[in-house]
Each structure stands twice: as structure tokens, then as C-alpha cells.
Structure 1
Amino acid sequence: MRRIGFLINPVAGMGGAVGLKGTDGQVEEARRRGAVPQAERRARIPLDILAGNPDLLFFTASGEMGESLLAKAGITQFQVVHHYRGESAAEDTRMAVRRFLEEGVDLILFCGGDGTAREIFDVAGREVPILGIPAGVKMYSALFAIDPATAAEIIDSPTQYTLRDAEVMDVDEEAYRRGDLQTRLYGVARTPALPNLTQVSKQVFEEGDEERAKKEIARFIGEVILPDTVYILGAGTTTEAIASHIGVKKTLLGVDVVKNGSVIAVDADEKTLVDLLETEDDARIVISPIGAQGFILGRGNQQISPRVVERVGVNHIIIVATPHKLRETPMLYVDSGDPALDRSFGPSVQVISGYRIAQRKRIYQPGQG
């Protein structure tokens, strides 16, 4: 019987939809803005799948850190090895992981973001493989499954997965909220991986050709922008180049809204976008996949939620990326939190990569491999 340490960060991801770009130190502000917990919903998906595997024994923490959800999923083979009171804290994560190691777990499965990954790695290091169910806001580290369901697929395939090195990234959230992306390598964990089912760490490309390519993309988008149409611009330097070309200033790591050459919403959260779309007849979303990871939705742009996409329409999403980024991105991924919406993107999508130039890029669909 395989022994799995299981943990949830109950507040992971709460800052995403409300535009906080992270939840570390911002839980109360996220709640004030109307954020709702995401981690339990995300973690329930793989647990429902793993409930049918009799070869797994889980070790977990009490309450919302794991015990409650294991019981809800109908999993009976688990032991609570760490108890806490009140609201869980980072030290509860570390204490639970210490108990996991004492119990000799074969793998640690957690649901959270980069902050949770760092806390687990602080204790486990490379001693035990770590696999993340993505539920945070950014998730730049390389030990996350591409979506919750594939975390279960990896664990259910012990004879097929391999262990590989996975970068654990440290992101300065205060700088990130100011629009300055500062990352450093925090450590290198081990993670179980199946082909295409575990994300790689984010890459940022800085080349002269990159800047020229962004300007060419921006020039083309500038030509095809429609009057009286709302354009929701996702995060990144490519969308920033588009904004610059049409004469407006964009928040680099936020979501801004433009109409008729003017910014009508800056660093918008999900509620702002939904409210805007209630009064607008026509809208488009312009987004760029995260470098090397290839995520269109679900990493760093949770403000563009399923509710927002449904109002705009998948056919009105414009994806932009430079040729270099596309060469380094084997396929694209969608992890919006709504599996039906993710599937509606189909097997491939057109990506604008230059002036009147586009490439068709494959989108990963569960079961394709």
C-alpha cells in the first residue's frame, strides 16, 4: 500500500479573481473584496478519482487542511497526524510535513500555490517527491500537475511516471503587486511526472528579436481593433506592447480594459470585468500564454474567470505570442476551473505571432497524452 501525505492550504488562490495577484499576507483583504475559497473545490477533483484506488493510505492534517475533504470524497483509509486550532498557518504545514516524513510517506500531494510549495520543500527537501494540485494565483514552480484531474492520473500511474527535478520558485509578491516580476530559484524538489502532465517553471524571454516580434504583433492588433468594442487585455509584455501601440498605458501583471483607444478599467478584478460586460454589447479578450508553461487561462490571470469567458465567448479570445515563445512551448493548456469550458477550446487554437502571421497550436485535452 502506498503512503500519501495530503495537505490543503485552505486560503490558496483567494487573491486571484479579486485582482490581488497573490494571497500571502492578503487573506483578510481578499475576503473584504468578496473572494471565496478555491482550494477545497480544486482538491476535491483528484480525490474523487483517487477514492476508487484501494492501494492508497493517506496521512493528513485535521479539518480544512485535509481531513474534512478526504471524508467528503468517501476516502476512509486516512490518518490525521497533525491537529491545529483556529485558522491554519505556514507552521502547521511544516509540522504536518514533519509528521509525514516520520510516517514514511512515499509522496506528498498538496493543494495550493508557490507559497505552500516552498513551505513543504523547507521540510521535505528532496527526501520525498512532491506533487501539487494547482490552486494558487501564480504557480511559477515546476511541481504542479497541469490541472487537478491530472494530479490523480499521475498518482494512479506509479509504474509509468518518472521522478524529475522540479524548480521551486520564490516570487516577491509585494513587487509583483507593483507590476515588477522578481523571481529566484528557491530550491529543486523531486516530482512525479508523466509526459505533458506536469508543468515546467515559467520562463521569461529577453531578446532583441522578442521585442521586434511584440511590436509586429501589436501593429497587427492595432489594425484590426474594432470601434465600440471592449478589449480585455491580459497580463504580460506582449499585451503591454499592444497597449503601447494604441497609445494607452497598461499594468504589466494586471488585467486592463480598453475601449475606443481609452482605458476604462485598470488592474480589474473578476467582479469589475463581469459588471462591465453586463453593459457592453461586444467584447474581446487578448491574452498571451505563460512562457514555457503554455497556460492560456488559470495561471496568473484568474480575473479572466469562466464567468468572464462565457460572457465574451471562446471564439472572441485572441491569443498572441512571439515565435520564440511558441517554439519553447510544446503545447498550450487551459485550466480555468471549469472543465467543460476548458474542453470547448477544442484540439487547437490560432495564435497571432507577428504582423498578419499566425500559427496553429495544439491544446492539451485530457486523454490525448
Structure 2
Amino acid sequence: MKLGFIVNPIAGMGGKVGLKGTDGPEILEKARSLGARPESPGKAKKALESLLPLKDKLEIFTYPGDMGEKEARELGFNPTVIGKIEGRFNPKNTENAAKEMVDKEVDLILFAGGDGTARNIFNSVDTKVPVIGIPTGVKIHSGVYANYPKAAGDIALKYLQDDDKKTEEAEVMDIDEEAFRKGEVTAKLYGYVMIPQEEDLVQNTKSSGAGSEDAALDGISNKIIDEMEEDIFYIIGSGTSIRPIMEKLNLPNTLLGIDIIKNKELVASDVNEKQILDIIGDNSVKIIVTVIGGQGYIFGRGNQQISAEVIKKVGKDNIRVIASKNKLLSLDRRPLLVDTGDEEVNSMLDGYIKVLTSYNMESFERVKGL
């Protein structure tokens, strides 16, 4: 059995520092200057751990250093290292790695990154070899990713061992990061790749939900405002479901970022993890977040600024989740998902949580910590 293993070591670095991605050298340097740390290598290792049962039967082809070799060796694998990293990490390295793995006739490519990485993989692989993505980026709109890192490894393990290797097409999507930082979402379909057929462990392409949301969101926003208490910080999450709250308070809203308000006044806008922690200190705090339609994430996708450290400080009882009934129905009974990168926090949120669906209605929804 042959596995291609590629890690984009910078994927996800822009999340906690509020940059909404790491596409481009200038943004990457800015992320580093803000104290961003690599997220991708650790998550890639979690996926690769699932393949340890095949350790003596599996030939792993990977790229040098942080692009896969380091992670594989730390887990006790003896990978075949191919290629050469040109300069500092850049998308061309991912494309070269994937192309060489196709030439090696690998059975599957397991890669770690975000939507930009998925585009790089598509550029070199197309539908020649099945792939499965380990979600480590800030933007995860593509349908090529597993729900969480370990699930990617579980999918790879099952696929490699299965005599009847079933695959299906999955969309490669990406958005314009520069427009994204201005609050505009312009998603584009770049093409399709083949992924192992494993519906329960692969995430859906992001959806905004079915039907009109206006009436539900009007009631939800009124309820949230009526509930607001004096002298408490409110961390306001991202997304269109949150926007009516800020509009009714006549406050500017960072649609795709995180804002903080207190006494119904704006304290700070488009904050990163460090700024959140500095502002809230040891004061009373509540978090208001919504559900990503079609996927079900409440933490870990698009709002990484609300990090595990922030959630620990705030506590589960001070988290308010809002979503229209239509958005919950679009999940087709799947649980809400949490992927903070911290197992303790994921476990803390595991269980059931109230979701406000209109002014006078709440729904108990199951939460799965990944």
C-alpha cells in the first residue's frame, strides 16, 4: 500500500490572530508578527496516528521537514522522502509534492491544510488519485475534508484496507481572502477531486441554510438584546445570523470577524485571540455564536479567534448558540461540532446545548467535541 502524505505547515496560522487565512507571504509574516503559531503539524499527526496499525505494510511518500517527514518520523514511520522544498514554504511546494506522488502511483493522498491547499492539490491531482483532507486551515468550504483530523486518518485507514475501494466526487471551493477580510464572501468552484466514500466522516460543503431566515433572525436578535446584562462583556461571533444583533444595537459589525461589546456599546472590533484575552481579563463574559449551515460547527471553523483558552475562561454555561430552525434542519440530525484543537475543551463542550431558534423557542442539540 502506498500513501502520499502532505502537510501545509502554515495552514491555519491566521485564524487565532484574526487574519482569516494565510494566503500570501505578507499575510503570513503579519500572522507571525502577531504571535501566530503553527496549527497544522499537530493536527496532521493526529490523523496519521490512525494509520499506525499499517506501519509495517504501508509505504509513505512525503516531502522533507515540516511538509510531512517530521510528523511521520515522530510517530515511528520510516517514510520515503521525495522532492525538495523550494525556498520558504509556498503553494508551489504543495503542487510539486502532489504531482510527484501521482507519478509514484500512490493509492491515496492524505493532506493537511485549508481551501487554498485543496486548490493546490487539485491543480496537480485532478481526479487521477483519491485524496482526503485533514482540516487545519482557516477557510474550510471544500467538500474534500474530513470532519476533524482523526477522522481523516480513520478514512484513510479504512480505504487502504478495503478491497472494494469506493470513491465519489467532492467540490474544491475557495474564497477571495482579500474580499473576505472586508466582510465579503465570494466562493468559487475550482473543480472536483475524488475522495473515499465515507459520508458520516466527511463534511458537507458550506451552506447558508434553506428558506427565509428573516423572521427567525429578527426574533433571535430581539431576544439576545433583551437578555443582555449590564457590565458583562459579550464576545460576538461571526456570520450573517449574528449580524441583526449588531444592526439593532446600531453598532458596526465585523461580519467575518469577532467583536466585543459591553453595556450595548462597542468595545473592540475584529479582534484576535490575544486581544480578546487582554480585554476580558477576569471579568464576566458571555459568548454568542451561530452554527455554520450545512456543516454544523459552532467553534473551530471561521471563528478560531474564540480559542480554547478563551472558551476555558468563559465556561460552557456562558455560551449562547443561536440558529434558525431551518439551519438546524439542514444538518439532517447530525450533531453540532466543536474542533478547538484542545481535547479538554472539546470534551467540556461535548453533550447537549440549548440553541435559540426564535424569540420564545429553544432547541436542545447534541454537541460532538472532535
> Normalization by structure 1: what TM-score?
0.94
In structure 1, distance between residues paired with 2:353 and 2:169: 30
Local SS of the residue matching 2:368: coil
Kept in 1: contact 2:210–2:330 (CA 8 A)? no
| Matching residue of 2:50 | 49
The alpha-carbon deviation at position 334 of structure 1 amounts to 0.7
| Matching residue of 2:327 | 325
In structure 2, distance between residues paired with 1:154 and 1:256: 37
Q: One-letter code of the match for 2:278?
A: D
In structure 1, distance between residues paired with 2:176 and 2:369: 32
CA gap of 1:177–1:161, structure 2 versus 1, over 3 A, is farther
| Matching residue of 2:195 | 191
In structure 1, distance between residues paired with 2:119 and 2:295: 19
Q: One-letter code of the match for 2:190?
A: Y
Cα RMSD of the aligned pairs, angstroms, is 1.6
| 2:325 counterpart of 1:295 | no
| Matching residue of 2:32 | 31
| 2:97 counterpart of 1:93 | no
The alpha-carbon deviation at position 271 of structure 1 amounts to 0.2
| 2:338 counterpart of 1:334 | yes
Q: One-letter code of the match for 2:367?
A: I
Kept in 2: contact 1:319–1:351 (CA 8 A)? yes
Local SS of the residue matching 2:60: strand
User: 5+ residue gaps in structure 1?
Assistant: none
After superposing on structure 2, the runs of 4+ consecutive aligned residues of structure 1 that deviate more than 4 Å are none
In structure 1, distance between residues paired with 2:236 and 2:169: 34
| Further displaced range: 97-106 or 196-205 | 196-205
| Matching residue of 1:304 | 306
| Further displaced range: 230-239 or 50-59 | 50-59
| Matching residue of 1:166 | 170
Kept in 1: contact 2:168–2:194 (CA 8 A)? yes
1:251 aligned to 240, 243, 254, which one?
Answer: 254
CA distances 1:80-131 after superposition (whole Å, capped 9, x unpaired) = 1211243122111111111101111111111111001000101101111111
| Matching residue of 2:151 | 150
In structure 1, distance between residues paired with 2:182 and 2:51: 40
In structure 2, distance between residues paired with 1:162 and 1:350: 38
| Matching residue of 1:13 | 12
In structure 1, distance between residues paired with 2:18 and 2:290: 18
CA distances 1:311-359 after superposition (whole Å, capped 9, x unpaired) = 0001211110111111101321111101221122233221111012111
Local SS of the residue matching 1:132: strand
In structure 1, distance between residues paired with 2:367 and 2:269: 30
| Further displaced range: 19-28 or 53-62 | 53-62
CA gap of 1:101–1:161, structure 2 versus 1, over 3 A, is closer
1:348 aligned to 352, 363, 369, which one?
Answer: 352
| Matching residue of 2:215 | 212
| 2:233 counterpart of 1:230 | yes
Local SS of the residue matching 2:201: coil
2:180 aligned to 172, 176, 183, which one?
Answer: 176
Local SS of the residue matching 1:12: coil
Q: One-letter code of the match for 2:234?
A: Y
Local SS of the residue matching 1:121: helix
| Matching residue of 1:277 | 280
In structure 2, distance between residues paired with 1:85 and 1:102: 19
1:361 aligned to 339, 359, 365, which one?
Answer: 365
Q: One-letter code of the match for 2:344?
A: A
In structure 1, distance between residues paired with 2:139 and 2:254: 16
| Matching residue of 2:66 | 64
Q: Identity of paired residues, percent?
A: 38
User: 5+ residue gaps in structure 2?
Assistant: none
Kept in 2: contact 1:277–1:311 (CA 8 A)? no
Kept in 2: contact 1:154–1:161 (CA 8 A)? no
Local SS of the residue matching 2:62: strand
CA gap of 1:155–1:46, structure 2 versus 1, over 3 A, is same
The alpha-carbon deviation at position 53 of structure 1 amounts to 2.0
In structure 2, distance between residues paired with 1:98 and 1:189: 14
CA distances 1:198-248 after superposition (whole Å, capped 9, x unpaired) = 1111112475x3112111100111111111111101101111111122332
Local SS of the residue matching 1:344: helix
> Normalization by structure 2: what TM-score?
0.94
Kept in 2: contact 1:134–1:147 (CA 8 A)? yes
Q: How many residues align?
A: 362
Local SS of the residue matching 1:82: coil
In structure 2, distance between residues paired with 1:362 and 1:253: 25
In structure 2, distance between residues paired with 1:196 and 1:344: 23
